[in-house]
A and B are shown apart, each in its own frame.
Chain A
Amino acid sequence: MSKCLGSSQELEQHKEKDLQLEELLAKYREQKGALIPVLQQAQEIYGYLPENVLRRIGQALNIPISKIYGVVTFYAQFHLKPRGKYVIRVCQGTACHVRGGSTVLKEIQNLLQIKAGETTPDLKFTLESVACLGACGLAPVMMVNDDTHGRLTKEAIAKILAQYK
């Protein structure tokens, strides 16, 4: 019974998302250079970019799917696979590198048992390494979703991750 309820709820959520996508496409249909903002906002709706969504965008904006695939795979921001609720971005920029950024990454990989670019099986965390977050004064740095955490030490990391449930 409860399982049934769950799936009908999921169905509702899907419908809701598809509606949002249609609104988005209606808004951008006539604009030039719309593809990237549309992809960004579609990814915000779905959490990632599933193939059927890309096909729908292509149809609506009259852009071949091959070109859309080319754009999606060019930019680091776009994802073709589901992502975790919290995205951890560990800075591997120069300032962080000389202040131990790679130790930070290793520690998180250890704690979560995933590698950079992967997502935990419970879809809670996605781990990424990025080139520079522009918070070099606080090196080493990482971001969890939109929160920046600086002056990281091996010990601090577990505590920070525990805040995200």
Chain B
Amino acid sequence: MTKIYICAGTGCTSSGSRKVANRLRSELASKDVKAEICVTGCHGFCEQGPIVIIEPADIFYCRVQEEDVEEIVDRTLLKGEIVEKLLYKDPLTQEPIKNYRDISFYKLQHRVVLGNCGHIDPEDIDDYLQKEGYAGLKKALTTMTREEVIAEVKKSGLRGRGGAGFPTGLKWEFAYKSPGPKKYVVCNADEGDPGAFMDRSILEGDPHAVIEGMAIAAYAIGADEGYIYVRAEYPLATERLRIAISQAEDKGYLGENIFGSGFNFTLHIKAGAGAFVCGEETALLMSIEGNRGMPRVRPPFPAVKGLWEKPTNINNVETYANVPVILRKGADWYSSIGTEKSKGTKVFALTGKVKNTGLAEVPMGITMRQIIFDIGEGIQNNKQFKAVQIGGPSGGCLPAELLDLPVDYDSLVQAGAMMGSGGLVVMDEDTCMVDVAKFFLNFTQSESCGKCTPCREGTKRMLEILTRITEGKGKMEDIDLLERLGKVIKSTALCGLGQTAPNPVLTTLKYFRNEYEAHIRDKKCPAGVCQALIKYEILADKCTGCTRCARNCPTNAISGKVKEPHVIDQEKCIKCGTCFEKCKFAAIIKG
């Protein structure tokens, strides 16, 4: 039977996919068409949402609106025709593409973790079971010892997907070896890096994979209780998790004596309350316990002393979601993907000034160029690529020279960035790198919990210096000062947030030093972003004297007679850019 998949991830929902689904239901009923509707999680190609896939014909429709539904039913479902205007068009050739596997955005992807996202109904456990769901847990519980499970995960080479890339199997082993009758597993779903949304999509699209991964971890380390700490900003993900947990309980995959093995596991959801620092593991535990989410000194690590002082294993969403498939298909299969030291795949959130935005899951070791120019199909509006910011506020900005860098944990650290959670924000020639550095510092500074001095005071001083530079009041010594401060904060801050906070500044200083110098020495912002350094001028030979700019200027800074060239009084100009926008003759330049 024909099956229609409609994406209901956050992206597509905001583009109107619920209306599409409702209209489709009523159209199918009124025309008595037999087809099954499956409302799924995220397909990853959020830019093109709402996305509708029709199988078995394998038709991929994008940007589908309510009004298009009737045509889809009448033509595609009833007559087997294709509605060409809804197909994705190749941006280069404008050729319509029917099957999504042929779209370059999907072609290079290797979907392991996102394999089910977009292909199952996340609110129906039977869909997950049809895709071999809970088979990994069953295998672990009924055929393997706890030690064997840990050995398998170690052998797979899986490393933490949320930050520094610590080997997952090793982490489990520490918690396993910690003595005590009571242990916990915790899932870090406090995805807070600006520009990252893979964890949200996994939770929304395939919540059972995370639950299964956590249950396997719990069995391995000897825990019987778990917590998923979800960001407050993710209401849909929380709701889907709630449904998934209750369905898993009903089917006996959570609760007591799972698969008759004597293993018990209960899982709770904790909603975060809005603090970026809670993504740090010790802060997250403090928050679950009901305190201010402030990190503490490690050691002792959570594996020894974690939640309520008990041994605790913490991994993030994507890490747990990798576990079921490792158990099901084996460590050898898993470790055949990726590079020597970075195994498996990584999901990247590709955003910014790139043509195709969305989630891309690729084997580790693929180059940045392939991700941005093949999957992402290059830069929007024919602009030049300038930098890619990887790893959120803890990461760095990498320049065009490093586009052929293989994307794995170690190469990125060497380049001064880090994998982090895998946010990739692409920047073009119109992006000012000093402004970007200031943006991140502003973020970490306001999210700093204030416990340790280097982070609390140091980031504030760095931000002051950057602000000064973007206002044209910088001194050349400021560059050295920034570098020195950055190094001190890196080596002395208490937790990961502080230790990595200087990265965006240090990498932009390393790769885009000339932009800092232009701001300081020439009092110019080459990208034309920093307001205080922009100057608007009217070109006398192009100005027709239409008076449009003068009429719209909020401070009456523009004067001139009708049909004669106008001038801007720089003293009065507040650089709002209104005249620049309003001029119909391109007579105003920004410099």
**Which residues of A come within 8 Å of B, CB atoms?**
32-37, 39-40, 70-71, 74-78, 89, 93-95, 97-99, 130-139, 141, 146-151
Chain A residues whose C-beta falls within 8 Å of the C-beta of B293 in the assembled complex: 74-75
> At the interface, yes or no: B100 with Cβ under 8 Å from chain A?
no
Chain A residues whose C-beta falls within 8 Å of the C-beta of B287 in the assembled complex: 36
With A94-B423, A136-B351, A137-B349 given, can you name 19 additional A-B contacts, CB distance below 8 Å?
Answer: A33-B270, A33-B288, A71-B290, A74-B293, A93-B194, A94-B389, A98-B353, A98-B425, A99-B352, A132-B193, A134-B197, A134-B234, A135-B11, A137-B49, A138-B15, A138-B49, A141-B14, A149-B14, A150-B15
Chain A residues whose C-beta falls within 8 Å of the C-beta of B392 in the assembled complex: 94
CB-contacts of B215-235 with A (<8 A): 231-235
Residue of B15, B194, B275, B431 touching A76 (CB-CB under 8 A): B275
Contact between B197 and A150, CB atoms less than 8 A apart:
no
* Docked complex Cα distance between A159 and B261 (Å): 58
* Docked complex Cα distance between A142 and B390 (Å): 23
A62 to chain B, nearest CB (A): 12
* Docked complex Cα distance between A32 and B13 (Å): 36
Contact between A77 and B194, CB atoms less than 8 A apart:
no
1/0 per residue B342-376: CB within 8 Å of A?
00000001011100011100000000000000000
A-B contacts, 29 of them at CB < 8 A, read A33-B289, A36-B287, A37-B270, A37-B271, A74-B275, A74-B294, A74-B449, A75-B275, A89-B233, A94-B195, A94-B352, A94-B436, A95-B351, A98-B353, A131-B192, A132-B194, A132-B195, A134-B200, A134-B231, A136-B197, A137-B45, A137-B47, A137-B358, A138-B15, A138-B49, A147-B14, A148-B10, A148-B14, A150-B15
Residue with the greatest number of chain A CB neighbours at <10 A, chosen from B200, B233, B308: B233
> At the interface, yes or no: B427 with Cβ under 8 Å from chain A?
yes
CB-contacts of B170-225 with A (<8 A): 191-197, 200
With contacts A36-B287, A132-B193, A137-B358 taken as known, whether A97 is within 8 angstroms of B439 at the C-beta atoms is: yes
Residue with the greatest number of chain B CB neighbours at <10 A, chosen from A33, A99, A134: A134
A58 to chain B, nearest CB (A): 12
Contact between B274 and A138, CB atoms less than 8 A apart:
no
* Docked complex Cα distance between A131 and B49 (Å): 23
> At the interface, yes or no: B402 with Cβ under 8 Å from chain A?
no
* Docked complex Cα distance between A137 and B49 (Å): 10
* Docked complex Cα distance between A136 and B443 (Å): 17
Chain B residues whose C-beta falls within 8 Å of the C-beta of A78 in the assembled complex: 273
With contacts A35-B290, A138-B14 taken as known, whether A130 is within 8 angstroms of B233 at the C-beta atoms is: yes
Contact between A40 and B273, CB atoms less than 8 A apart:
yes
> At the interface, yes or no: B46 with Cβ under 8 Å from chain A?
yes
* Docked complex Cα distance between A133 and B231 (Å): 10
* Docked complex Cα distance between A93 and B290 (Å): 27
Chain B residues whose C-beta falls within 8 Å of the C-beta of A138 in the assembled complex: 11, 14-15, 46-47, 49
B: interface residue count bin: 35 or more
With contacts A95-B352, A136-B197 taken as known, whether A36 is within 8 angstroms of B423 at the C-beta atoms is: no
* Docked complex Cα distance between A80 and B341 (Å): 49
**Least CB separation from B287: chain A residue:** A36
B386 to chain A, nearest CB (A): 10
Contact between A139 and B274, CB atoms less than 8 A apart:
no
Chain B residues whose C-beta falls within 8 Å of the C-beta of A36 in the assembled complex: 270-271, 273, 287, 290
* Docked complex Cα distance between A13 and B272 (Å): 29
Chain B residues whose C-beta falls within 8 Å of the C-beta of A133 in the assembled complex: 233
**Least CB separation from A61: chain B residue:** B290
Residue with the greatest number of chain B CB neighbours at <10 A, chosen from A32, A94, A132: A94
* Docked complex Cα distance between A78 and B449 (Å): 16
B130 to chain A, nearest CB (A): 28
* Docked complex Cα distance between A130 and B192 (Å): 11
Chain A residues whose C-beta falls within 8 Å of the C-beta of B359 in the assembled complex: 137
B135 to chain A, nearest CB (A): 30
* Docked complex Cα distance between A8 and B352 (Å): 53
> At the interface, yes or no: B75 with Cβ under 8 Å from chain A?
no
> At the interface, yes or no: B447 with Cβ under 8 Å from chain A?
yes
> At the interface, yes or no: B276 with Cβ under 8 Å from chain A?
yes
> At the interface, yes or no: B291 with Cβ under 8 Å from chain A?
yes
Contact between B195 and A93, CB atoms less than 8 A apart:
yes
* Docked complex Cα distance between A147 and B15 (Å): 11
* Docked complex Cα distance between A48 and B461 (Å): 34
CB-contacts of B304-344 with A (<8 A): 308
> At the interface, yes or no: B292 with Cβ under 8 Å from chain A?
yes
Chain A residues whose C-beta falls within 8 Å of the C-beta of B47 in the assembled complex: 137-138
Contact between B357 and A136, CB atoms less than 8 A apart:
yes
With contacts A98-B353, A131-B192 taken as known, whether A148 is within 8 angstroms of B13 at the C-beta atoms is: yes
Chain B residues whose C-beta falls within 8 Å of the C-beta of A135 in the assembled complex: 10-11, 14, 46, 197
* Docked complex Cα distance between A134 and B236 (Å): 12
* Docked complex Cα distance between A45 and B460 (Å): 37
Chain A residues whose C-beta falls within 8 Å of the C-beta of B439 in the assembled complex: 94, 97
Chain B residues whose C-beta falls within 8 Å of the C-beta of A132 in the assembled complex: 192-196, 233
Chain A residues whose C-beta falls within 8 Å of the C-beta of B449 in the assembled complex: 74
* Docked complex Cα distance between A74 and B291 (Å): 9
B427 to chain A, nearest CB (A): 6
* Docked complex Cα distance between A97 and B435 (Å): 10
With contacts A36-B287, A40-B271, A95-B425 taken as known, whether A137 is within 8 angstroms of B352 at the C-beta atoms is: no
* Docked complex Cα distance between A139 and B287 (Å): 30
CB-contacts of B413-443 with A (<8 A): 423, 425, 427, 431, 436, 439-440, 443
Chain A to chain B: the 8 pairs with minimum beta-carbon distance, closest first:
A137-B46, A93-B194, A76-B274, A75-B273, A35-B290, A95-B351, A132-B194, A148-B14
* Docked complex Cα distance between A70 and B291 (Å): 8
Contact between B197 and A33, CB atoms less than 8 A apart:
no
B276 to chain A, nearest CB (A): 6
A31 to chain B, nearest CB (A): 9
**Least CB separation from A35: chain B residue:** B290
**Least CB separation from A154: chain B residue:** B581
Contact between A98 and B431, CB atoms less than 8 A apart:
yes
B531 to chain A, nearest CB (A): 10
Chain A residues whose C-beta falls within 8 Å of the C-beta of B193 in the assembled complex: 132
* Docked complex Cα distance between A27 and B196 (Å): 36
Contact between B270 and A32, CB atoms less than 8 A apart:
no
Contact between A134 and B10, CB atoms less than 8 A apart:
yes
* Docked complex Cα distance between A34 and B353 (Å): 43
**Least CB separation from B581: chain A residue:** A154
Chain B residues whose C-beta falls within 8 Å of the C-beta of A137 in the assembled complex: 11, 45-47, 49, 197, 349, 351, 357-359
